[in-house]
Structure 1
Amino acid sequence: MKITRQKYIPICFESIRGLFITLFIYTAFVKWVQMPTFVGQMERMPFPDWAAPYVAYGLPSTMLILALLLMMNKKPKRTVCIAMGILSTLSIFIILIITRTISPSYPCACAGILGLSWNGHLMLNLVYILLGGIALILLPSIDVDPKGEYTNSANASIHQQT
């Protein structure tokens, strides 16, 4: 079977969307499982102690909601933009930590998932921001109806195969 450009674009977009969903669900799950530790780590961050529980519970909740929105695929452009915005904000925060702009030392070893260093976590975020940009470039080539389904016949056959 020859894969044409019409079929390749939705496959690429769906792959990127799947990577975002996996990242957000995994991150939320890890944070929820390790919540007491995560709250303690947030208390060492350079913001008021009273904010730590709100950030600790809010971050994985936001990630899970974003994963669900990505799964529904009703407003893919908006959802990818929100995901990129969150990752960009976290990346700026990581840069401020790495450069010790907001704290004279690393506030904790909680650089996130997969046991990454702060630099590794920043690189992962930047890769996902780049993937989000690629998804936004691909999106105008994909026809999505209000239900989140692909509408043109070339793309619809790909969606039905998954």
Structure 2
Amino acid sequence: MIGLILLWLFAGIPKVMDIPSFSTQLKRMPYIGWMHSFIAVILPILMLAIAVLLAIPKLKLYGLYLSAGLLCCFTIYIAWTLLFSDHIPCSCAGIHADILWKDHVFITAIGLVLNTLAIWLEWKNIENLTHKYNKTLLRNDTPHLGI
């Protein structure tokens, strides 16, 4: 979980700190350049919101779902761009400028797999807690009100 929180903070904070530069970088991206202004504002906010949700225990599952959705979008976009785009710009709008696009799609795919595993583990944890709670309620040795 800490890894995902750090990932979203590391990806979101630099973009929030320099939205105009991030917007310029997005403008050069295939398929999404036309909506660079919108993405430049919404994406960093979403990244930071995911990090916050993941840090709050009661909201962690929502954060995991949003994180998985965003990682899925990134993975599909990068793979689509690698397969079908005539022009592949620098990866400077990504997490790190030195990461190649092929490496980036691999990293996001691994992140998506780990994120999905975290969702599964969270559901198992909720299931175990619910089972323990119900078992406690149904025990015969709990005091009754004599009704």
Same fold (TM over 0.5): yes
**Which residue in the other structure is 1:77 paired with?**
61
Unaligned runs of 5+ in 1: 1-16, 145-151, 153-162
Q: Does 1:62 align with 2:46?
A: yes
Q: Which has the higher contact order (CA 8 A, sep 6+)?
A: 1
Cα separation, partners in 2 of 1:139 and 1:98, compared to 1, 3 Å: same
Quick check: 26-35 or 86-95, which moved more? 26-35
For 1:76 and 1:48, the matched residues in 2 are separated by 29
* Secondary structure at 2:29 match in 1: coil
Which of structure 1's runs of 4+ aligned residues deviate more than 4 A?
47-50
Deviation by residue 1:115-157 (Cα, 9 ceiling, x = unmatched): 211111111111111111211221233249xxxxxxx7xxxxx
Deviation by residue 1:12-61 (Cα, 9 ceiling, x = unmatched): xxxxx111110001101121234332111111123465521111111111
Report the AA paired with residue 139 of structure 1.
E
**Which residue in the other structure is 2:103 paired with?**
120
Aligned match of 1:137 in 110, 117, 120?
120
Q: Give the conservation status (yes or no) of the 8 Å contact 1:44–1:108.
A: no
For 2:6 and 2:28, the matched residues in 1 are separated by 28
If the length of structure 1 is used for normalisation, what is the TM-score? 0.69
For 1:118 and 1:48, the matched residues in 2 are separated by 16
* Secondary structure at 1:95 match in 2: helix
Deviation by residue 1:53-81 (Cα, 9 ceiling, x = unmatched): 11111111110011111111213333212
Unaligned runs of 5+ in 2: 133-147
Cα separation, partners in 2 of 1:34 and 1:117, compared to 1, 3 Å: farther
Q: Give the conservation status (yes or no) of the 8 Å contact 1:25–1:63.
A: yes
Aligned match of 1:107 in 89, 95, 98?
89
**Which residue in the other structure is 2:17 paired with?**
33
Report the AA paired with residue 57 of structure 1.
V
Number of aligned pairs? Answer: 127
Report the AA paired with residue 133 of structure 1.
T
Give the number of the structure whose alpha-carbon radius of gyration is greater: 2
Instruction: Give the RMSD, CA atoms, in angstroms.
Output: 2.1
Identity rate, percent = 28
